[in-house]
Amino acid sequence: MNPRAENRGAAIDLDTVSKAYGSFKALDGVSLRIEPGEFMTLLGPSGSGKTTTLNVIAGFTDVTSGQLLVGGKSVVGVPAHKRNIGVVFQHYALFPHMTVGRNVAYPLTLRGIAQDERKKRVAKALDMVKMGDFAHRYPSELSGGQQQRVALARAIVFDPPLLLMDEPLGALDKKLREWLQLEIKRIHRELGTTFVYVTHDQEEALVLSDRIAVFNRGCIEQVGTGRQLYDEPATLFVGRFIGDSTVLRGEAKSDGTGTALTVAGETVIAPRRLAGEVHPVMLLRPEKLAIRRPGQDAAGTNRLSGTIAEAIYLGSGSKYEVKLGDGSTAIVRSPLAGESFGLGEKVELCFDGADAKLLPDDSTADTTLT
Amino acid sequence: MEMKPLTRLILGLVCLLVAIWLVAPTLVVVPMSFNENKSLAFPPQGFSWQWYQNFATNPEWSTSFLNSLKVASLVAVLATVLGTLAAFGLDRMKARPANLLRMLMLTPMVVPGVVLAIGIYAVYLDAQLVGTLTGFVLAHTILALPFVLIAVSANLEVFDRRLETAAASLGAGALTTFRTVTLPLILPGILSGLLFAFATSFDEIVVSLFITNPYLKTLPVQIFSSITRDADPTVAAVGTILLFATTILIGGGMLLLGRERKGRV
């Protein structure tokens, strides 16, 4: 799809990788295949194991058990400085006693590359991140965004087949972050190397990634494209972590044709059922819910009543938080052309049962999200 | 807040008084060193360079000066190497044992000099180290080590160890990382430790008095024995030379550090 440079990336295979600190399992049997040249984002809340996974790939952390292949070769036990992997850190980690130029030349000097060639490659890398005019500055003379761009140049100047990024935009403000996201995307396209990107920001993950691996409690919950994760979440945790969602919980009854859920006296039906002895919940995306005043004609098969708890004007439309009968909150997005509602107003929410995603309930999904 | 002129005047006067009080005793030696007569009277009479001549030509003075230079240089190197290694080790140890060890290594700063001197003297008598270069260097290194340890530790505390991780990711092994990243960044601490170690050894008197003998005297020992024997103004001449030498040394060091910092920020 994207016009990409020749594929120079390394494949990564994690095979049931575990990392334990005493009795705490930071990683619990993680398996993941990253394709050559792919942009893979490791997404999850703090402490979910995404950074540990990155550190394991980089060689900063040893695995307790499991196998790790980079470019088809096992790197378990290989020290970080012999792995030839570029790393960009959240805290930039530029050497303060060297100019920008010397920082970027550092990995080339270590590899014994002659001065002429070194100069050329430093200039090329700095041009790629649009910092060509800053070679003689010291890191302390640069802004955070500029420092991170230099750090990126330093991590790609020696042509590593794999680039790891650990929340590289975490310390920057929103505008700068959005611009640098596009820059990183462009650089990935131009280089054609494998990128592994760690973030806790799901929007950032959606913007950047070919695929996203969602981490929770040291395990991977689901791997897929942004669309797959949004439309077909495999677990309640993934459904809630990616995008806005409304979760309906209640007394459930399943038969051959579908599942009925009774939420505070009102029953909604989805034409599906879950296999096994699990308690089902329904997950609904904001755009699948219609909002209207009570008593009007039903648009969908299911309806729930509630009161407006929060109305947010978004420019392109409005977002409402609606308090349902059981005290839970539903999130609805309505287009600008639609009716508008005030705080405290009684409303009805309608949806098509086919749009409701049935997922097994997971009480831990709520606590780990905050 | 704007200060009233009177307040400002009084404050200035007080500062001046304190400054005089701190510096005057040191500055007294300068005029004394040009005394025409062989006395340490103040104010001095007449003007002459003879005591400087005496310092340069009298072998008693010049030898002890060279001895001090030799001892202090060796101590500076030895204490800096050991102190830097110790600071590193302590920085990378678990906090509890590190704090215990650190306190142990800093005891020479707290223990009264005389007590330390008696102990060292007793050991040196058996080991036949009294009046030897080795004896002086070892004893002074014990005293100088804490200064290096403190200076380097202070630098390591603000050193960002994540830079070492970054260097590793770029292909630098442990030794290369130390040489190219860690060492340059803690160099100011090491250099100031080196200066302190040199100065500590150069003007050490208490321990030196115990372990000296007629064959090996350091400059402070020579000054002390000279002044207890007779009122020789050469002492004042030596004092003046040392005063200017240390002022230039420390001043130059501060200037260098200041320039380096300006280059970065």
| pLDDT tens-digit readout, B207-258 | 999 999 888 999 999 999 888 888 788 888 998 988 888 888 778 777 766 6
**Do B185 and A97 make contact, defined as CB atoms within 8 angstroms?**
yes
pLDDT at A15: 95
Phi, psi of B228 (to 5 degrees): -80, -20
Question: B32-66 pLDDT, tens per residue?
Answer: 888 888 877 778 788 888 889 888 888 989 999 99
pLDDT at A211: 96
Judge whether A6 lies within some domain: no
pLDDT at B45: 81
What does the alpha-carbon distance between residue A137 and residue A98 come to, in Å, rounded to a whole number? 9
What does the alpha-carbon distance between residue A362 and residue A27 come to, in Å, rounded to a whole number? 20
**Do B168 and A59 make contact, defined as CB atoms within 8 angstroms?**
yes
Task: Give A150's contacts in chain B (Cβ within 8 Å).
Answer: none
Domain boundary among A239, A254, A287: A239
Judge whether B231 lies within some domain: no
- Is B259 an interface residue toward A (CB < 8 Å)? no
Task: Give A110's contacts in chain B (Cβ within 8 Å).
Answer: 170-172, 176
pLDDT at B262: 47
Q: Residue A269 maps to which CATH number?
A: 2.40.50.140
Q: A26-32: long-range contacts (C-beta < 8 A, 24 or more apart)?
A: A26/A52, A26/A218, A27/A52, A27/A53, A27/A56, A27/A63, A27/A218, A28/A217, A28/A218, A28/A219, A29/A66, A29/A219, A30/A66, A30/A218, A30/A219, A30/A220, A31/A220, A32/A213, A32/A220, A32/A223
Please tell me whether residues A229 and A252 are part of one structural domain. no
- Is B257 an interface residue toward A (CB < 8 Å)? no
What does the alpha-carbon distance between residue A362 and residue B186 come to, in Å, rounded to a whole number? 51
B168: nearest CA in chain A? A81
Domain boundary among A191, A206, A239: A239
Judge whether B179 lies within some domain: yes
Of residues A58, A89, A111, nearest to B171 (C-beta)? A111
Domain boundary among A221, A239, A257: A239
Identity of residue A179:
W
- Quick one: tokens of A177? 């972050």
Q: How far is B79 from chain A (nearest CA, A)?
A: 26
Per-residue confidence at B198, pLDDT binned at 50, 70, 90? very high
Taking Cα atoms as reference points, which of A343, A321, A325 lies closest to residue A334?
A321
* Helix B183-202 vs helix B133-158: crossing angle, to nearest 10: 140
Judge whether A172 lies within some domain: yes
pLDDT at B259: 57
What does the alpha-carbon distance between residue A320 and residue A286 come to, in Å, rounded to a whole number? 9
Per-residue confidence at B67, pLDDT binned at 50, 70, 90? very high
Of residues B166, B185, B264, nearest to A89 (C-beta)? B166
Mean pLDDT of all residues belonging to chain B: 89
Question: B173-182 pLDDT, tens per residue?
Answer: 999 999 999 9
Question: A55-89 pLDDT, tens per residue?
Answer: 999 999 999 999 999 999 999 999 999 999 999 99
Please tell me whether residues A90 and A222 are part of one structural domain. yes
Judge whether A5 lies within some domain: no
- Quick one: tokens of A139? 């890191």
Task: Give B263's contacts in chain A (Cβ within 8 Å).
Answer: 138
Q: Measured on CA atoms in the order B22, B26, B30, B32, is the torsion positive or negative?
A: positive
User: Residue A69 in 3-state DSSP?
Assistant: strand
Q: How far is A154 from chain B (nearest CA, A)?
A: 8
pLDDT at A137: 95
pLDDT at A35: 94
Q: Residue A90 maps to which CATH number?
A: 3.40.50.300
Judge whether B146 lies within some domain: yes
Please tell me whether residues A313 and A192 are part of one structural domain. no
pLDDT at B256: 67
Bridge partners for A86 per DSSP? A163
Judge whether A7 lies within some domain: no
Please tell me whether residues A28 and A146 are part of one structural domain. yes
Q: Residue B177 maps to which CATH number?
A: 1.10.3720.10
**Do B169 and A84 make contact, defined as CB atoms within 8 angstroms?**
no
CB atoms within 10 A of CB A249: 15
User: Quick check: ipTM above 0.85?
Assistant: no
User: Residue A199 in 3-state DSSP?
Assistant: strand
User: Residue A321 in 3-state DSSP?
Assistant: strand
Of residues B160, B166, B176, nearest to A110 (C-beta)? B176
- Is B186 an interface residue toward A (CB < 8 Å)? no
**Do A60 and B168 make contact, defined as CB atoms within 8 angstroms?**
yes
Task: Give A54's contacts in chain B (Cβ within 8 Å).
Answer: none
Q: What burial class does residue A244 get, using C-beta atoms within 10 Å of its C-beta: 0-12 exposed, 13-18 middle, 19+ buried?
A: middle
Please tell me whether residues A194 and A72 are part of one structural domain. yes
- Under 8 Å CB pairs connecting chains A and B tally to 63
Q: What is the 3-state secondary structure (H, E, C) of B191-217?
A: HHHHHHHHHHHHCCCHHHHHHCECCEC
Judge whether A88 lies within some domain: yes
Residues in chain B, total:
265
Judge whether B55 lies within some domain: no
**Do A93 and B265 make contact, defined as CB atoms within 8 angstroms?**
no
Helix residue ranges per DSSP H, chain A: 50-58, 100-110, 115-128, 144-156, 174-191, 202-208, 226-231, 236-241, 364-367
**Do B171 and A81 make contact, defined as CB atoms within 8 angstroms?**
yes
**Do A140 and B165 make contact, defined as CB atoms within 8 angstroms?**
no
Judge whether B228 lies within some domain: no
Please tell me whether residues A144 and A38 are part of one structural domain. yes
Please tell me whether residues A94 and A25 are part of one structural domain. yes
- Is A140 an interface residue toward B (CB < 8 Å)? yes
Of residues B168, B176, B264, nearest to A96 (C-beta)? B264
Domain span including residue B202: 66-218
CB atoms within 10 A of CB A69: 16
Q: Sort residue A169 into left (φ over 0), alpha (ψ -120 to 50) or beta.
A: alpha
Task: Give B173's contacts in chain A (Cβ within 8 Å).
Answer: 79, 81
DSSP letter string over A241-299?
A: HSS--EEE--EEEE-SS-EEEEETTEEEEES---SSS--EEEEE-GGG-EEE-TTSPPS
Number of domains, chain B: 1
Taking Cα atoms as reference points, which of B137, B152, B142, B132 lies closest to residue B195?
B152
Number of domains, chain A: 2
Return the percentage of chain B with pLDDT > 70, whole number: 95
Show Cβ contacts of residue A210 under 8 Å, excluding neighbours closer than 6 positions. A38, A39, A40, A225
Of residues B170, B185, B265, nearest to A110 (C-beta)? B170
Please tell me whether residues A84 and A227 are part of one structural domain. yes
- Restricting to A residues 254-293, those with a Cβ less than 8 Å away from any Cβ of B are none
Q: What burial class does residue A117 get, using C-beta atoms within 10 Å of its C-beta: 0-12 exposed, 13-18 middle, 19+ buried?
A: exposed
Judge whether B244 lies within some domain: no
pLDDT at A278: 81
The list of chain A residues with pLDDT below 70 reads 1-7, 296-300, 336-338, 364-370
Taking Cα atoms as reference points, which of A332, A338, A339, A348 lies closest to residue A297?
A348
Domain span including residue A65: 12-239
Please tell me whether residues A83 and A152 are part of one structural domain. yes
Judge whether B250 lies within some domain: no
A111: nearest CA in chain B? B171
Please tell me whether residues A212 and A269 are part of one structural domain. no
Least trusted range by pLDDT, from A326-340, B112-126, B181-195: A326-340
Please tell me whether residues A174 and A63 are part of one structural domain. yes
Q: How far is A243 from chain B (nearest CA, A)?
A: 34
Please tell me whether residues A267 and A344 are part of one structural domain. yes
